[in-house]
Structure 1
Amino acid sequence: MSSDTPLAPHLERPRNLSTLIARVRHAGRRRDDISLDAILDAVGRRSFAPFLLIAGLITLAPLIGDIPGVPTLMASLVVLVAAQLLLGRQHFWLPRFLLERRVSRERFLRVTGWLEKPAHWVDCCLRARLTWLTRSPAHLPVALTCLLIGLAMPPMELVPFSANGGGLALTLFGLALLAEDGLMALAAYLLTGTTLALVIIGLA
C-alpha cells in the first residue's frame, strides 16, 4: 500500500514538486484572486502529501507566509487533516470559511515563479529510499508529528524564524511522502525536534 493514504477521489497526485507548482499556477485562472479551495482542487485531494506541501510552501513563501496569521491558518488546516487521518478517515473535511481564504493572483504568481527554480533542484534530490519510513503504516507517525507542528505553530509566530522551521518540516514531510523518500522524512523529524526545542527555549 502506498504511503500516500487516499483522502479524496480527484486528480492523480503530482509526482514531484515542479509538477505541483505548475498545477497551482493554473488554479482558478478566471479570477483576480485565488482561494485555498482552488489550489487544493488544482493539485488533487487524493492524498496527504500534496496537502502538506501546499501548507508548508505557503508558510515558507515570501509575500504570503510573512502575512501575520497565515502560518497559524495553515497550521489549523494541518491539524484538522492530520487528526482526521489519525482517526482513519478516508476523506478529509475542511470548513468552507477556511477554504475561501484568498490571496491576489499577482502576488501568488510572483511566489510560485520564485519557487520554480529551486523546485527543479529539489526534484533532482528526491528518490525512493528507506521506504519503510514513508509507506503505510508510517504515514501515521508522520501525521502525528504534523499535528504537533500545527498545534505549536501559533507560539512559533512569537519566536523569530521558528514558523519557517515548522513550514520547512511540513514541506519535507510532504516531499517524503510524495517520492517515498525516507531520508527526507528523517530530515523532517530532525528539523521538527530542533524547531520545537527552540520554541520551548525561546518562550521559557
Structure 2
Amino acid sequence: MSETPDKPIQHKNDDLDAVLERIRATDGDGTDVSVRDILTAAGTRTFGPVVVVAGLVVLAPLIGDIPGVPTLMSMLVLLTVGQLLFRRRHLWLPRWLSERKVPRDKLHTGARWLHKPARFLDRFTRPRLTVLMDGGGNLLLALACLLVALAMPLMEVVPFSANGGGLALMAFGLAMIARDGVVAIIALLLTGGTLGFIAWQLL
C-alpha cells in the first residue's frame, strides 16, 4: 500500500493551468505515467486537487476514451472523497491504484488540449458563496462526487456521458480548492444533468 507524505508539496502557482503544465512535464518511466506520477507532478496532497486531476484525465482527448480509464478515475474519487468524509487530513491510496499507468504521449496531448479551457476557468474562479463550502454544504458536494464516481462505469457504455462526469468532477475539485460556491452550484447542475442523461439513455 502507498500513502502520501505528511507534508504537501508546495507550488507558487496552484491554478488549473499551472497544474496542467506540471502534468505535461511528467516523464514517468518514458512511455507510461502512473497515477502516483500524475498526482506528484500536480503537487496534490489534499482532496480538491485530486478530484480536479480525475476530472481532467476523464476529459482529456485520447485518455478518457481508453477503456477502463473512467472506472479507474472513479476508484480514485471514491477513495478520495471517502477519506474526506472521514476527515482524514492527508490522502492515502493503495499501491494497486497509485501504480496504475496511462500512456505518456496521450496524457501530454490531452493536457495540452485543455490549456485554453483551464486559463478561462482560472480567470473566473475565486472565493464566493463560501457558506456552501462548509458544514452541510461540504457534505452535499462530497456526496455528489460519490454519485458521479459510482456512475462512471456506466459512462463507459453511454456515449458522451463521461464528458459530463469529467466536467462535474473538475468543477467539484475547483470549488474545493478556491472555496467557490458558484462553481459548486455549476458542478451540482452538471451532476444532475449527466445522471439524468444516463438514465434517459438506459431506460
TM-score, length-normalised on structure 1?
A: 0.88
Equivalent positions of 1:40-119 (< 5 A) are: 40-119=39-118
2:31 is equivalent to residue 32 of structure 1: yes
Structure 2: state its 5+ residue gaps: none
1:62-117: CA deviation from partner (whole Å, max 9, x where unpaired): 11001111111101111111112112222332221221122232222212111122
Moved more, 122-131 or 84-93: 84-93
Q: Is the 8 A contact 1:8 1:47 kept in 2?
A: no
Specify the alignment match of 2:129 in structure 1.
130
Runs of 4+ off more than 6 Å: none
* CA RMSD, 1 decimal: 2.0
Question: Number of aligned pairs?
Answer: 198
1:10-41: CA deviation from partner (whole Å, max 9, x where unpaired): 21365311111122222346633211101111
Structure 1: state its 5+ residue gaps: 1-6
Rounded to whole Å, the distance in 2 between the matches of 1:28 and 1:111 is 15
Q: How many percent identity over aligned positions?
A: 49
Q: Is the 8 A contact 2:28 2:34 kept in 1?
A: no
1:130-187: CA deviation from partner (whole Å, max 9, x where unpaired): 1112245633221111111111111122222112111110011111112221111000
Q: Is the 8 A contact 1:135 1:180 kept in 2?
A: no
TM-score, length-normalised on structure 2?
A: 0.89
Give secondary structure in 2 for the equivalent of 1:160.
coil
Q: Is the 8 A contact 1:27 1:42 kept in 2?
A: yes
2:163 is equivalent to residue 164 of structure 1: yes
